[in-house]
C-alpha cells in the first residue's frame, strides 16, 4: 500500500511510525513532514491547506491511501479534493469536519442527536456573552467557535478574564462547567461502522497541578485504570452512533477519526467537544499500544469496509507521553534553540522541530517533542517516559512533572452516578 500522510506535528510523527511499522505499507510519503518523520519515509513539500496541491501530490505519487492528520486541512476541504481524484482518503469531508470547525455546529448536531453534553449559548455580542456567563456562573467556560489549535478555550473563575476571552473572538460558545475527570476517546469510522480505540487522558494546562493557561496538550496516558468498565460501550451507544446517524441524515457522513472529548460527571459521561481527527498528544500513547497494523484499519474506513475488519488487538501494559515545549509557550514560542539527545531516539516524537543548515536540530514551534514510552504498568511507563525527557536538552524547555501521577497514585476522583 502506498500511503501519503499530510501534516507536520507530533500526531503525524506517531501516525507515521505506526504506518512505517505496517508490513503492508510499501511507500510512505509525509507532506510536509518534520525531521523526525524523515527517518520513516520520504518528505514532500506541499501546502497542507491547499486542497488542489494535496490532491495533485496524491496523484503524482500514485497513493493508495491519503491520511490527513491535522484539522485545518480537513476544514479546508482537502479530503474532498483527494476523493474527487478517485483516491481513498482517511479524514472527513469539509462539511463533516464542521464538527470541529464550528463548536456551534457541533452543539446543534448533539442537540438533534440527543447526545449528553453541557447546556450552552452561542454569543456574538458583549451583552449576550455577559448574560450567558451570569446564567451558568463560575467556573466560566468560553470557547472560540472556530479552530484555535487547542487553545481557544478558557475555563476560569475570573469573570473579567472570561469576558476578555469572548471579546477577542467573533463568536463564542458559553457552556455550563462539567465537573469530573476528562477522557479522550478516538473512534475510527467509515460513516456507519465505528470502532473505538482505547481511551486516554491528556493534560491541557501548561503547569503542574492543572494550573496556567490552556495548551494544545502537555502529556497523556493510556489506559485509564479508574475509568468505569462500561464507559466505551456507553459512549458508543449514547454518543457515537447517534452522532454518526445525525451526520448521515444531514448528508455529511463522517469518515475518519471522530474524537470524543468527555467529562465523567455525576450524571454519567457528557461530551465536552468533538474533533475531526486524532488528538495530540493522546495519539502517541494510543498508537503505542495498538498491535493491529494501522494502514489496513484506516484504508478499510476510507473505502467503507470497516465492518469487515477483525477486532483490534492491543498490547498489554500502559503508555505515557510527556510534551517538551519551547520557552514562552503557550503565549509565544521561541524558535531556533539547539536540541540535543532527540535525534533517532525511539519514543522521542518530533512536533515543533526543524533542521538548521548546518544539520543541527532546533526548536521550531510551541510543542517541540513528545517523549513516549510503554511499560508493563502505568507507573513503569511513566518512569520510562520521564527518563526520555531527562535525555533531551534545549534552552528554556518546559514540561510538566505530574503527567499520569494522580492515576498512578490512585487519586483520580470519579463522581458516583446520580450523585
Query: Where would I find the beta strands (DSSP E) of 13-72?
Result: 27-32, 42-43, 65-68
Strand order of the β-sheet with 140-144 is 120-123, 172-175, 140-144, 153-156
In 3D space, the residue among 25, 89, 33 whose CA is nearest the CA of residue 294 turns out to be: 25
Element (H, E) at 363: strand 361-363
Name the residue with cell 531556533. 336
**Neighbour tally for 102: CB within 10 Å:** 19
Query: Where would I find the beta strands (DSSP E) of 87-198?
Result: 89-90, 120-123, 140-144, 153-156, 172-175, 182-189, 194-196
What pLDDT shows up at residue 276? 96
Alpha-carbon distance of 283 to 15, in angstroms, equals 8
What pLDDT shows up at residue 418? 53
Record the pTM: 0.94
**Cell of residue 268, nine digits:** 454519567
Q: Which residues share a beta bridge with 28?
A: 3
List per-residue pLDDT tens for the chain, 419 residues long. Answer: 999 999 999 999 999 999 999 999 999 999 999 999 999 999 999 999 999 999 999 999 999 999 999 999 999 999 999 999 999 999 999 999 999 988 889 999 999 999 999 998 988 898 889 999 999 999 999 988 877 655 578 888 999 999 988 888 888 889 999 999 999 999 999 999 999 999 999 999 999 999 998 899 999 999 999 999 999 999 999 999 999 999 999 999 999 999 999 999 999 999 999 999 999 999 999 999 999 999 999 999 999 999 999 999 999 999 999 999 999 999 999 999 999 999 999 999 999 999 999 999 999 999 999 999 999 999 999 999 999 999 999 999 999 999 999 999 999 988 876 54
**Neighbour tally for 211: CB within 10 Å:** 9
Peptide bond preceding 91 in cis form (omega within 30 of 0): no
Amino acid at each position: 500500500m502506498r500511503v501519503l500522510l499530510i501534516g507536520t506535528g507530533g500526531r503525524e510523527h506517531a501516525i507515521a511510525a505506526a504506518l512505517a511499522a505496517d508490513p503492508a505499507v510499501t511507500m510512505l510519503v509525509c507532506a510536509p513532514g518534520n525531521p523526525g518523520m524523515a527517518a520513516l519515509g520520504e518528505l514532500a513539500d506541499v501546502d497542507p491547506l491547499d486542497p488542489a496541491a494535496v490532491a495533485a501530490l496524491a496523484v503524482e505519487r500514485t497513493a493508495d491511501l491519503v491520511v490527513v492528520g491535522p484539522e485545518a486541512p480537513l476544514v479546508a476541504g482537502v479530503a474532498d479534493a483527494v476523493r474527487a481524484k478517485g483516491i481513498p482518503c482517511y479524514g472527513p469531508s469539509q462539511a463533516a469536519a464542521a464538527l470541529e470547525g464550528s463548536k456551534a455546529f457541533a452543539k446543534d448536531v448533539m442537540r438533534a442527536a440527543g447526545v449528553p453534553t453541557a447546556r450552552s449559548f452561542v454569543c456574538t455580542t458583549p451583552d449576550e456573552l455577559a448574560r450567558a456567563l451570569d446564567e451558568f456562573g463560575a467556573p466560566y467556560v468560553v470557547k472560540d467557535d472556530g479552530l484555535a489549535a487547542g487553545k481557544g478555550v478558557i475555563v476560569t473563575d475570573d469573570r473579567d478574564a472570561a469576558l476578555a476571552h469572548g471579546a477577542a473572538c467573533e463568536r463564542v460558545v458559553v457552556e455550563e462547567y462539567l465537573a469530573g475527570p476528562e477522557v479522550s476517546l478516538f473512534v475510527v469510522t467509515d460513516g456507519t461502522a465505528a470502532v473505538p480505540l482505547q481511551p486516554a487522558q491528556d493534560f491541557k494546562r501548561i503547569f503542574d497541578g492543572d494550573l496556567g493557561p490552556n495548551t494544545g496538550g502537555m502529556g497523556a496516558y493510556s489506559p485509564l485504570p479508574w475509568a468505569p468498565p462500561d464507559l466505551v460501550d456507553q459512549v458508543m451507544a449514547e454518543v457515537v452512533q447517534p452522532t454518526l446517524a445525525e451526520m448521515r441524515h444531514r448528508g455529511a457522513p463522517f469518515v475518519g477519526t471522530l474524537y470524543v472529548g468527555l467529562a465523567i460527571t455525576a450524571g454519567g459521561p457528557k461530551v465536552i467537544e468533538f474533533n475531526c481527527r486524532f488528538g495530540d498528544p493522546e495519539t502517541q500513547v494510543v498508537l503505542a499500544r495498538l498491535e493491529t497494523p494501522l494502514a489496513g484499519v484506516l484504508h478499510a474506513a476510507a473505502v467503507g469496509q470497516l465492518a469487515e475488519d477483525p477486532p483490534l488487538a492491543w498490547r498489554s501494559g500502559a503508555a505515557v507521553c510527556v510534551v517538551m515545549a519551547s520557552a514562552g509557550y503557550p503565549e509565544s514560542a521561541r524558535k531556533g534553540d539547539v536540541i540535543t539527545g532527540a535525534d533517532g531516539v525511539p519514543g522521542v516524537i518530533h512536533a515543533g522541530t526543524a533542521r538548521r543548515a548546518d544539520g543541527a536540530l532546533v526548536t521550531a514551534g510551541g510543542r517541540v517533542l513528545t517523549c513516549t514510552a510503554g511499560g508493563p504498568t502505568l507507573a513503569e511507563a511513566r518512569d520510562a517516559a520521564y527518563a526520555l525527557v531527562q535525555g533531551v536538552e534545549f534552552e528554556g524547555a518546559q514540561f510538566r512533572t505530574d503527567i499520569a501521577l494522580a492515576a498512578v497514585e490512585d487519586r483520580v476522583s470519579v463522581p458516583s452516578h446520580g450523585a
